[in-house]
């Protein structure tokens, strides 16, 4: 019996071994699919209105609706650097700001009542206006659509609302790590001031006025810059008459404005590091400049990108996730553009302790696809995947017409989609290797890694000289102080006088500082305790009933603690706490850093504060510039003025110090009042201070 059982086992093992060797095809592998049908574009009627507007019309009687889309040349590339953000604001307020014939709120009510919509937005090279309605309302909606193109009102309250939304976007722009690294790669490859990469700051928003929107509209919104597509349930002759009726009288005035596309700098190899301690994963992005859609190598480069990192079967995914288990995902993708070189990205997220390991694995895969041809199966899967997905980009009249309008706008042939598909079908293994060698340039690669830098398994310097990228969101425009030795010397004298006034011996011996008090805000009193351990540790504990919320700065780390729970502090809150750290105790750390040369200070002028003679000193901190007011007679710091950003824009913030009291030889203000735009905002009262009490460094870690 045992012998018989052994034979059965051997036969089973032999069978499985043979199966493994032969690797028979699955049933699904034997399936043969017919060639995909050609994409049949709908019949398009193209004409020009009497004023030159290019119009594309497609009749589609499946549903009783009418759709319209307008593309106007302009967008980000048409705005001046000193008016950064104008196209973004314009793209929003064009629609939300109403027209000269109808208020915005009335438009909203009307469109809601008839189930129609009109919206607008800005792109890098165009302003887009689009809408849809039922067939029965086409005449009224087309008239309203024409009003938005020719007679927008840019209502003041809608401008302010949109500016508030822009400020909110700025405050949240560092929330998603992958968006941060993509943004920073674009700034490196295109240039930080390029319209393809520059970011909007708070002061940019404040700098935008209604007159700028009016001027932008007058300059770029004209018939010879406008392209329109209309599709839906109508007759072509009828829609042509309506468009001529509502838009034919719109005239282009003066010479057509020239839009010069920005130059793109030559690629250079760079390794870049972003420290962000409120994330658990390292986000790794690498980038090369890519191609235009109409580049002859686009098809082959796209297929190469798919094989390298386009999905679950791609090389990067298999290597980084499946084989090495370093990440949930890894890949690459092409982001081509119609009128300029796009981007080629490689990405993954991994634990800080495997950052270098994952980065090395990705670089190895980039090297391999350059050195050896891809397999027949890889080529087959990539091409089939592209062709199958490609069909769904044109599975509705909406998609087809919008794509054809875009082709017309950028001067591409109307059958460009078919040309792409045909080119992909012809891609060979040799083509893939050729474009990999031509466009994947390790010696010109841009590498960006974001995360907890101190926990990386190896320093990024292994890959080259590391550039540190600061993603701090500035609240005020940093102005570099001109070299002025006399003003700097005078500022130091004033700071030294202030130190003598508060108690020089006690100040010089400072190792740590503790205060106990209460914060008063909107009538609510919140007890708090603050801890400052020089030079870079600070914590504030707020008492909410029986609960204690602790915010702690420990060098570059910023954490929140509540009970046994802890979490990284959001970046905006961390910036506020670091600023409070400088001014703790009436500017103790601020004084030390100025005297040690860590912060630059310059004397400004004599003035007054609260009716008393004062000397003014300007200081540029990492977060924002400060203006310090020192009592000319006593030398004590009376107030610190700065600019902050609120939802309504720039805020003038003044922190006022009162009632100095001696604590262990150090004069500390017991009362602090914070005024915003000349109105009391908050205050605090200090009733207990301890100096050099031996605060443990561990206190800021738990």
Residue 532: closest CA among 552, 514, 547, 550? 514
Pairing of β 226-232 and β 65-73: antiparallel
User: 39 pLDDT band (50/70/90 cuts)?
Assistant: low
45-176+191-247: CATH, from 3.30.830.10, 3.40.640.10, 3.40.50.300, 3.40.50.920: 3.30.830.10
Region 33-47: mean pLDDT is: 70
Looking at residue 389, its pLDDT comes to 81
For residue 28, is pLDDT > 50? no
Pairing of β 282-289 and β 466-468: unpaired
Most distant CA atoms of the chain, gap in Å: 110
How far, in Å, CA of 532 to CA of 132, rounded?
Answer: 60
- Model confidence pLDDT, tens digit, residues 152-178: 999 999 999 999 999 989 988 998 999
270-401+412-468 and 485-701 share one fold: no
- Model confidence pLDDT, tens digit, residues 399-424: 889 999 999 999 999 889 889 999 99
Region 468-477: mean pLDDT is: 84
Looking at residue 19, its pLDDT comes to 34
User: 479 pLDDT band (50/70/90 cuts)?
Assistant: low
Region 588-599: mean pLDDT is: 94
Locus of tokens 């082709």: 407
Buried b (16+ CB within 10 A) or exposed e, 424-446: beebebebbbbbbeebbbeeebb
- Model confidence pLDDT, tens digit, residues 294-320: 999 999 999 999 999 988 889 999 999
Answer positive or negative: Cα dihedral of 492, 498, 500, 506: negative
Contact 373, 305 (CB under 8 A): no
Answer positive or negative: Cα dihedral of 443, 444, 450, 454: positive
- Model confidence pLDDT, tens digit, residues 198-230: 999 999 999 999 999 999 999 999 999 999 999
Q: Of the given ranges (349-358, 472-481, 508-517, 563-572), which has the lowest mean pLDDT?
A: 472-481
Indicate the average pLDDT of the chain: 90
Looking at residue 510, its pLDDT comes to 96
Which CATH fold topology does 485-701 show?
A: outer membrane lipoprotein receptor (LolB), chain A (2.50.20)
- The CATH number assigned to the domain with range 270-401+412-468 reads 3.30.830.10
User: 475 pLDDT band (50/70/90 cuts)?
Assistant: confident
Region 568-593: mean pLDDT is: 89
Q: What is the reported pTM?
A: 0.79
Question: Which residues in 536-665 belong to E strands, given as ranges?
Answer: 537-544, 547-554, 557-562, 565-568, 600-609, 612-620, 625-631, 637-646, 649-663
pLDDT higher at 581 or 648: 581
Residue ranges of alpha helices (H) inside 464-569 are 485-502, 504-508
How far, in Å, CA of 41 to CA of 60, rounded?
Answer: 12
Region 643-665: mean pLDDT is: 85
Instruction: Write the CB contacts of 104 (distance below 8 Å, at least 6 apart in sequence).
Output: 96, 97, 98, 153, 155, 158
pLDDT-above-70 percentage for the chain = 93
- Model confidence pLDDT, tens digit, residues 580-591: 999 999 999 999
User: 646 pLDDT band (50/70/90 cuts)?
Assistant: low
How far, in Å, CA of 556 to CA of 572, rounded?
Answer: 14
Helix, strand, coil % (nearest 5) of the chain? 40, 30, 30
Q: Phi and psi of 308, rounded to 5°? A: -75, -45
Domain residue limits, the chain: 45-176+191-247, 270-401+412-468, 485-701
How far, in Å, CA of 362 to CA of 449, rounded?
Answer: 13
């Amino acid at each position: 019996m045992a012998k018989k059982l052994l034979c059965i086992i051997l036969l089973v093992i032999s069978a499985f071994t043979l199966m493994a060797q032969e690797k028979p095809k699955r049933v699904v592998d034997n399936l043969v699919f017919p060639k995909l049908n050609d994409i049949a574009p709908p019949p398009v009627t193209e004409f020009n209105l009497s004023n030159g507007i290019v119009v594309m019309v497609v009749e589609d009687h499946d549903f009783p609706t009418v759709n319209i889309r307008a593309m106007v040349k302009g967008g980000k590339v048409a705005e001046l650097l000193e008016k950064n953000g104008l196209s973004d604001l314009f793209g929003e307020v064009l629609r939300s700001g109403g027209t000269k014939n109808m208020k915005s709120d009335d438009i909203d009510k009307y469109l809601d009542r008839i189930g129609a919509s009109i919206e607008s937005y800005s792109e890098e090279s165009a302003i887009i206006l689009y809408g849809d309605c039922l067939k029965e309302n086409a005449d009224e909606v087309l008239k309203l659509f024409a009003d938005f193109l020719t007679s927008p009102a840019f209502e003041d309250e809608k401008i302010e609302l949109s500016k508030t939304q822009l400020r909110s976007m700025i405050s949240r722009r560092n929330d998603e790590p992958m968006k941060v690294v993509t943004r920073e790669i674009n700034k490196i490859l295109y240039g930080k001031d390029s319209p393809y990469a520059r970011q909007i700051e708070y002061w940019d928003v404040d700098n935008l006025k209604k007159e700028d929107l009016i001027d932008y509209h007058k300059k770029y919104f004209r018939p010879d810059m406008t392209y329109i597509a209309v599709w839906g349930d109508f007759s072509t002759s009828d829609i042509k008459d309506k468009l001529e009726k509502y838009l034919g009288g719109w005239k282009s005035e003066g010479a057509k404005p020239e839009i010069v596309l920005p130059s793109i700098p030559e690629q250079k190899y760079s390794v870049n590091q972003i420290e962000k301690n409120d994330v658990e994963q390292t986000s790794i992005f690498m980038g090369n400049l890519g191609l235009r859609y109409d580049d002859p190598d686009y098809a082959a480069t796209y297929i190469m990108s798919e094989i390298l990192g386009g999905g679950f079967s791609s090389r990067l995914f298999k290597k980084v996730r499946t084989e090495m288990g370093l990440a949930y995902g890894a890949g690459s993708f092409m982001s081509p553009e119609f009128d300029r070189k796009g981007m080629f990205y490689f990405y993954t997220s991994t634990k800080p302790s495997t950052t270098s390991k994952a980065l090395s694995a990705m670089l190895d895969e980039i090297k391999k696809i350059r050195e050896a041809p891809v397999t027949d199966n890889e080529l087959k899967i990539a091409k089939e995947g592209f062709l199958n997905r490609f069909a769904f980009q044109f599975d509705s009249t909406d998609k087809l017409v919008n794509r054809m309008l875009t082709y017309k706008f950028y001067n591409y042939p109307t059958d460009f989609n078919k040309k792409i598909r045909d080119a992909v079908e012809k891609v060979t293994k040799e083509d893939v290797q050729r474009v990999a060698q031509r466009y994947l340039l390790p010696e010109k690669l841009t590498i960006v890694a974001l995360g907890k830098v101190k926990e990386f398994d190896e320093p990024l310097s292994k890959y080259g000289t590391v550039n540190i990228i600061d993603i701090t969101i500035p609240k005020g425009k940093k102005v570099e102080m001109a070299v002025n030795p006399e003003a700097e010397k005078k500022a130091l004298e004033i700071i030294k006088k202030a130190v003598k006034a508060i108690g020089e011996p006690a100040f010089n011996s400072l190792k740590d500082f503790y205060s106990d008090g209460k914060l008063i805000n909107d009538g609510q009193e919140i007890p708090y305790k603050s801890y400052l351990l020089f030079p870079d540790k600070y914590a504030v504990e707020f008492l909410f009933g029986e609960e204690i919320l602790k915010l702690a700065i420990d060098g570059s780390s910023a954490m929140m603690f509540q009970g046994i729970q802890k979490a990284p502090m959001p970046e905006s809150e961390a910036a506020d706490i670091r600023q409070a750290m400088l001014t703790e105790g009436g500017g103790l750390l601020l004084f030390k850093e100025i005297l040690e040369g860590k912060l630059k200070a310059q004397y400004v002028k004599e003035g007054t504060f609260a009716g008393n003679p004062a000397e003014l000193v300007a200081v540029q901190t990492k977060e924002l510039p400060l203006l310090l007011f020192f009592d000319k007679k006593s030398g004590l710091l009376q107030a610190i003025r700065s600019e902050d950003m609120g939802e309504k824009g720039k805020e003038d913030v003044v922190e006022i110090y009162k009632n100095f009291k001696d604590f262990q030889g150090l004069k500390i203000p017991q009362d602090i009042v914070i005024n915003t735009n000349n109105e009391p905002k908050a205050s605090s009262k200090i009733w207990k201070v301890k100096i050099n009490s031996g605060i443990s460094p561990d206190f800021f870690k738990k």
